Amino acid sequence: MIFITARFPVKPEHADAWPEISRSFTQATQAEPGCLWFFWSRRVEDPNEYVLVEAFADDTAGAAHVHSTHFKQAQQELPQYLSRTPFIVNATIPASDWSTLGELAVD
Protein backbone atom coordinates (compact mmCIF):
# COMPACT_ATOMS: atom_id res chain seq x y z
CA MET A 1 0.00 0.00 0.00
CA ILE A 2 0.95 3.63 -0.35
CA PHE A 3 1.07 5.19 3.12
CA ILE A 4 1.09 8.98 3.39
CA THR A 5 1.30 11.38 6.29
CA ALA A 6 1.17 15.11 5.66
CA ARG A 7 1.33 18.15 7.94
CA PHE A 8 -0.99 21.03 6.97
CA PRO A 9 -0.18 24.40 8.58
CA VAL A 10 -3.50 26.22 8.57
CA LYS A 11 -3.71 29.99 9.00
CA PRO A 12 -4.84 30.70 12.59
CA GLU A 13 -8.04 32.42 11.48
CA HIS A 14 -9.10 29.24 9.61
CA ALA A 15 -7.83 26.55 11.98
CA ASP A 16 -11.12 25.89 13.77
CA ALA A 17 -12.97 25.73 10.43
CA TRP A 18 -10.47 23.39 8.70
CA PRO A 19 -12.60 20.23 9.11
CA GLU A 20 -15.46 21.96 7.30
CA ILE A 21 -13.18 23.63 4.74
CA SER A 22 -11.66 20.27 3.77
CA ARG A 23 -14.87 18.22 4.16
CA SER A 24 -15.84 17.81 0.50
CA PHE A 25 -12.28 16.82 -0.45
CA THR A 26 -12.11 14.41 2.47
CA GLN A 27 -15.45 12.76 1.70
CA ALA A 28 -14.71 12.44 -2.02
CA THR A 29 -11.32 10.88 -1.29
CA GLN A 30 -12.77 8.46 1.27
CA ALA A 31 -15.25 7.32 -1.40
CA GLU A 32 -12.51 6.40 -3.88
CA PRO A 33 -12.38 2.62 -4.49
CA GLY A 34 -8.65 2.38 -3.75
CA CYS A 35 -8.65 4.55 -0.63
CA LEU A 36 -7.94 2.44 2.46
CA TRP A 37 -8.24 5.39 4.86
CA PHE A 38 -8.04 9.16 4.87
CA PHE A 39 -8.42 11.06 8.12
CA TRP A 40 -7.34 14.25 9.84
CA SER A 41 -6.03 14.91 13.34
CA ARG A 42 -5.33 18.23 14.96
CA ARG A 43 -1.87 18.55 16.43
CA VAL A 44 -1.95 18.99 20.21
CA GLU A 45 1.26 21.07 20.34
CA ASP A 46 0.10 23.40 17.55
CA PRO A 47 -3.67 23.80 17.06
CA ASN A 48 -3.02 25.51 13.71
CA GLU A 49 -1.57 22.32 12.26
CA TYR A 50 -3.56 19.34 11.02
CA VAL A 51 -2.01 15.97 10.26
CA LEU A 52 -3.46 13.92 7.44
CA VAL A 53 -3.01 10.15 7.52
CA GLU A 54 -3.98 8.39 4.31
CA ALA A 55 -3.40 5.12 2.53
CA PHE A 56 -4.17 3.77 -0.92
CA ALA A 57 -4.24 0.15 -2.01
CA ASP A 58 -1.54 0.47 -4.67
CA ASP A 59 0.09 2.75 -7.27
CA THR A 60 -3.00 2.61 -9.47
CA ALA A 61 -5.21 3.85 -6.63
CA GLY A 62 -2.70 6.56 -5.74
CA ALA A 63 -2.56 7.75 -9.34
CA ALA A 64 -6.35 7.78 -9.59
CA HIS A 65 -6.44 9.95 -6.48
CA VAL A 66 -4.00 12.61 -7.72
CA HIS A 67 -5.72 12.72 -11.12
CA SER A 68 -9.24 12.99 -9.69
CA THR A 69 -11.42 16.05 -10.12
CA HIS A 70 -11.70 16.57 -6.36
CA PHE A 71 -7.90 16.48 -5.97
CA LYS A 72 -7.46 19.11 -8.68
CA GLN A 73 -10.19 21.21 -7.05
CA ALA A 74 -8.45 20.92 -3.66
CA GLN A 75 -5.18 22.07 -5.28
CA GLN A 76 -6.98 25.24 -6.35
CA GLU A 77 -9.05 25.89 -3.22
CA LEU A 78 -7.11 24.75 -0.15
CA PRO A 79 -3.79 26.69 -0.40
CA GLN A 80 -5.52 30.00 0.44
CA TYR A 81 -6.18 28.64 3.95
CA LEU A 82 -2.59 27.48 4.55
CA SER A 83 0.28 29.46 6.07
CA ARG A 84 2.92 27.50 4.10
CA THR A 85 3.32 24.49 1.84
CA PRO A 86 2.47 21.21 3.64
CA PHE A 87 5.18 18.64 4.45
CA ILE A 88 4.69 15.01 3.43
CA VAL A 89 6.07 11.54 4.02
CA ASN A 90 5.08 9.08 1.30
CA ALA A 91 6.12 5.43 1.34
CA THR A 92 5.10 2.17 -0.26
CA ILE A 93 4.95 -0.55 2.37
CA PRO A 94 4.12 -4.27 2.24
CA ALA A 95 0.83 -4.10 4.14
CA SER A 96 -2.87 -3.63 3.47
CA ASP A 97 -4.18 -2.62 6.90
CA TRP A 98 -3.15 -1.47 10.36
CA SER A 99 -1.21 -3.84 12.62
CA THR A 100 -1.77 -4.07 16.35
CA LEU A 101 0.65 -2.32 18.68
CA GLY A 102 1.75 -5.31 20.72
CA GLU A 103 3.76 -3.25 23.18
CA LEU A 104 0.49 -1.74 24.45
CA ALA A 105 -1.69 -4.84 24.22
CA VAL A 106 -5.06 -4.63 25.92
CA ASP A 107 -6.51 -7.83 27.35
pLDDT at 89 over 90: yes
CATH number corresponding to 2-94: 3.30.70.100
Q: What is the pLDDT of residues 37-62, one digit of tens each?
A: 999 999 999 999 999 999 999 999 99
* Mean pLDDT calculated for residue range 89-100: 96
Residue 107 has a pLDDT of 85
**DSSP code string of the chain:** -EEEEEEEEB-GGGTTTHHHHTHHHHHHHHTSTTEEEEEEEE-SS-TTEEEEEEEESSHHHHHHHHTSHHHHHHHHHGGGGBSSPPEEEEEE-S-SSPPP-GGG---
Domain boundaries, given as residue ranges, for the chain: 2-94
What confidence tens digit (pLDDT) does each residue in 8-36 have?
999 999 999 999 999 999 999 999 999 99
* Average pLDDT estimate for 67-83: 98
